[in-house]
Amino acid sequence: MSEQATLQHLKTVTASLEAGTTSQIRYLLNGALPAQDVARLLESSPPRERQLLWDLIDNTNEGEILQYLTEDISIPFLKKMDTKQLLAVSEQFETDDLADMLQHLPETIVKEVLASMSAQNRLRVEALLSYPEDSAGGLMNTDTITIRPNITVDIVFRFLRRHNKLPDMTDNLLVVSRSDRFLGTLPLTKLLVADTSSTIREIMDTETTVITANTSASEVAQLFEKLDLVSAPVIDEKSGKLLGRITIDDVVDVIRDEAEHSMLSMAGLEDDEDTFSPVMKTTRRRAVWLGINLITAFIASYVIGLFQGTLDQVVALAILMPIVASMGGIAGSQVLTLVIRGIALGQIGSTNTRWLLNREIIVGILNGILWATVVAILTAFWFDNLEIAYIIAGAIMINLLFAAMTGTLLPIALNRLGIDPALAGSVILTTVTDVVGFLSFLGLATIFLI
Amino acid sequence: MSEQATLQHLKTVTASLEAGTTSQIRYLLNGALPAQDVARLLESSPPRERQLLWDLIDNTNEGEILQYLTEDISIPFLKKMDTKQLLAVSEQFETDDLADMLQHLPETIVKEVLASMSAQNRLRVEALLSYPEDSAGGLMNTDTITIRPNITVDIVFRFLRRHNKLPDMTDNLLVVSRSDRFLGTLPLTKLLVADTSSTIREIMDTETTVITANTSASEVAQLFEKLDLVSAPVIDEKSGKLLGRITIDDVVDVIRDEAEHSMLSMAGLEDDEDTFSPVMKTTRRRAVWLGINLITAFIASYVIGLFQGTLDQVVALAILMPIVASMGGIAGSQVLTLVIRGIALGQIGSTNTRWLLNREIIVGILNGILWATVVAILTAFWFDNLEIAYIIAGAIMINLLFAAMTGTLLPIALNRLGIDPALAGSVILTTVTDVVGFLSFLGLATIFLI
């Protein structure tokens, strides 16, 4: 379903909801549309409509749809369910999604859900629960097809034919020892062209990329992107035992989340933020960010306040001072954005930081000369005052230089300190460019005008 | 290779470059490191080092490495090659990458490269060249394995065994008619469990998602994400003929580019921006953005200038006015970012715009009340002046309200007009929040104080 189609369905559903005719919606939600599309409809609906739609979904379909919802939306639905419903839903989950879900539910309910499962499945889910959600262990599934190295291709074919269906995204069979130690992979593309009398040991790949369970989700994503993987085995670092496999569909989610993370954080928004979250939740989250930025604004005002006497004498300064701060802010945030992306892509390290800083300083000076001249000329004509023109040109030069240095070094420093540069970077940068902007402009004016 | 590993290799290489000992680097670049890692090293290097490294790469390895470089980096290398080198390199390219590359080279060279190819490959590449780079036709590869519907599973197995190797990411065989019309897919996971005497027609999937060649890359990415595809057939819309297939590795690039696009555009940076692009290129690109924002800054200053008389009488206004503008800017950019992401995800349409606008207005009022009160109290103490406290509270309320409305409606309107909201949105929003901020604060002050 394309964007247009989602919005079209949304129109139909909204019209039916307004008209109070639910039979068509029931039909759409329970089978006529695939679960992924229903999830998109729910994500594109305001809270009240979302709840109405959810109530129209049959219990037997809830599990599949929940797997496609972002957590911001699925957790509230799960929390409202009683244990019996949760048990029913959990049966429809894949093991990795089930483990993610359980991490958000109360301990007592988790125990009941686990107790209701088959011993084998319980062990699998408990194993997954022991890994953080954003690690390879948290991303993996346990639906591997394993074979032994000493059998022949022919026997593998016969073994596979005993299945009704192989798991989705099976591109490799995983070769393990009697004690479950991972030995190598056998890509289906290789199996299909192999001589039927060869043994697996002869044809398997042993130089496969293996991922240890504690690898971070971000590193997993980089490996998948770099090596064009469809799935990769996950092993226990110590024992070398096969634990499960990660498939590209889960990795694509990591990649999208990571790429979105910087943009959302720079505006103080949460990852996975629900576009249609209700008023009070939104107000609370936004208030925090506004409060933090208010501190920045008051610091800037305090700096201006230092020059009250100067402003009192030359009102033109008050008119022009936002230009200096704003040019610094824009220049700085360009550098900041570029460096934050460079860090996220793993491009920036100790060997090239100095080059980057030098380039940004030179770019800052060149653009400083260009725009300081433009602003100076405009100012000279506007206020018919050459002195103020020189002063604003100097202040813009100084501020663009500080913006270049702060934009480059701040995110690198924050990253080394383990602070997310996308979240803290923009606030600190604005503080610097505001303070330096007002300080240099009003300071120079105080020295040369008064 | 993880981030750490790239940066570690970068250190080794940089140290060797500085010491002038190139033998170890040659070894690393020509075989010891996989092509993807060499590409990452190049992307993480400043221009001079990048060129030095490139010169150390053997001609026979250049083609593979070029495929992994972003175009901002690969095109300059390609443009410096003579026709003979280009021909050698093009032989190592996959057809889709070759078509992308040719689009950036002069007509005469394209002709020579095409003329040097086998008739079959030339036809394939010419077909690809006829589609835009950001369409399904531009994304697809022609390495499909096709079978006829009337043969049996057993014959398919024998047919496959005649290959030395199946193409990477082959998860489906594509079933076509005698005239190459697409009929359905046969997933390998289904083939492997099928009865060997069944015919393909009996077991093939006919409800496969097919993609027409003119589908946009963005829609292709949505389909892959939604349906968890590894590969999908591309057909000609009119004839229904199979043209090729798209694989998830190319789609992952589209997903990352799309997710990064908004963040980079909001800072006026280009997609695929080279982190280490040289000084003059960087200066020119940044200058444009600074110039556009300077217009915004001058508009804001003009508005302040309207109240010169008021500022002359009450200098406290000059000190406080940036707070009003800044709070509006922060609140507005939060809404803007959220809506831009919602539009990119296809969540926002005519049915929910009104709800979104209402929510943002209410959130704006609630946060307005909260922060207007806080600012008023702080102002009252700072300047010992209740009137100014009331005025700044009123101005913040007004500006947060405008910020909420502009942040919601502006990107939706820009999107309808076919203008990229991520690129134009932040500039226009800042203009609005600056103008409204200064106008309301200084305007209220002029009415009530003077």
Q: Which residues of B touch A227 (CB under 8 A)?
A: 36
Q: Which residues of B touch A248 (CB under 8 A)?
A: 230, 248, 252
**Of the candidates B253, B251, B259, B256, the residue with the CA atom closest to the CA atom of residue B221:** B251
The helix (run of H) or strand (run of E) holding residue A64 is helix A59-66
Q: Which residues of B touch A312 (CB under 8 A)?
A: 315
**Of the candidates A338, A349, A345, the residue with the CA atom closest to the CA atom of residue A226:** A345
Q: Are residues A366 and B322, on separate chains, in Cβ contact within 8 Å? A: no
Q: Which residues of A touch B296 (CB under 8 A)?
A: 326
What was the pLDDT predicted at A302? 96
| Contact (Cβ atoms closer than 8 angstroms) between residue B408 and residue B288 | no
Q: Which residues of B touch A256 (CB under 8 A)?
A: 225, 255, 259
Residue of B97, B338, B423, B427 to mutate for A, most A C-beta atoms under 10 A: B338
What was the pLDDT predicted at B134? 87
| Per-residue CA distances from B408 to A10, A269, B287, B412, B432 (Å) | 19, 15, 29, 7, 13
What confidence tens digit (pLDDT) does each residue in A257-289 have? 888 888 899 999 987 788 998 899 999 999 999
Residue with tokens 């009337």: B150
What was the pLDDT predicted at B3? 57
What was the pLDDT predicted at B4? 62
Residue B1 predicted with pLDDT over 50: no
Task: Return the residue of B nearest to A309 by Cα.
Answer: B315
B245-283 burial: b if 16+ Cβ within 10 Å, else e: bbbbbbbbbbbbbbbbbbbbbbbbbeeebbbbbebeebb
Q: What whole-number distance in Å separates Cα of residue B272 and Cα of residue B261?
A: 8
- Residue A202, number of CB atoms within 10 A of its CB: 12
Task: Return the residue of B nearest to A271 by Cα.
Answer: B338
Concatenate the DSSP letters of all residues of B16-58 into one string: HHHHT--HHHHHIIIIIS-HHHHHHHHHTS-HHHHHHHHHHS-
Q: For chain B, which domains are there?
A: 3-139 (1.25.60.10), 146-266 (3.10.580.10), 279-448 (1.10.357.20)
| Contact (Cβ atoms closer than 8 angstroms) between residue A166 and residue B192 | yes
Q: Are residues B275 and A308, on separate chains, in Cβ contact within 8 Å? A: no
Tell me the average confidence (pLDDT) per consecutive run of 10 residues in chain A, 450 residues long: 66 77 85 86 89 89 87 86 83 80 83 83 82 89 91 94 89 94 94 93 90 93 89 93 93 87 89 86 93 95 95 94 96 95 87 93 96 97 95 97 97 94 93 96 94
Q: How far apart are the first and last CA of chain A?
A: 67
| Per-residue CA distances from B120 to B85, B114, B137, B261 (Å) | 22, 11, 17, 36
Over residues B308-321, mean pLDDT: 94
Residues 6+ apart with CB under 8 A from A259: A344, B255, B256, B259, B260, B263
Q: For residue A297, give the nearest of B164, B298, B326 by CB distance.
A: B326
Residue B418 predicted with pLDDT over 60: yes
Q: What whole-number distance in Å separates Cα of residue A81 and Cα of residue A87?
A: 10
Maximum C-alpha span of chain A: 96
How far is the alpha carbon of B251 from chain A, nearest alpha carbon, in Å? 10
Residues 6+ apart with CB under 8 A from B26: B56
Q: For residue A363, give the nearest of B219, B279, B315 by CB distance.
A: B279
Residue with tokens 């192999």: A194
- Which of A258-262, B320-324, B336-340 comes out lowest in average pLDDT? A258-262
| Per-residue CA distances from A406 to A269, A329, A331, A400, B237 (Å) | 23, 11, 10, 10, 52
How far is the alpha carbon of B36 from chain A, nearest alpha carbon, in Å? 6
Q: Are residues A297 and B323, on separate chains, in Cβ contact within 8 Å? A: yes
Q: Map residue A395 onto helix, strand or coil.
A: helix
Q: Are residues B322 and A297, on separate chains, in Cβ contact within 8 Å? A: yes
Over residues B408-425, mean pLDDT: 94
Q: Is the reported ipTM for this assembly greater than 0.90?
A: no
Q: Please, which residues bridge with residue A74 across strands?
A: none
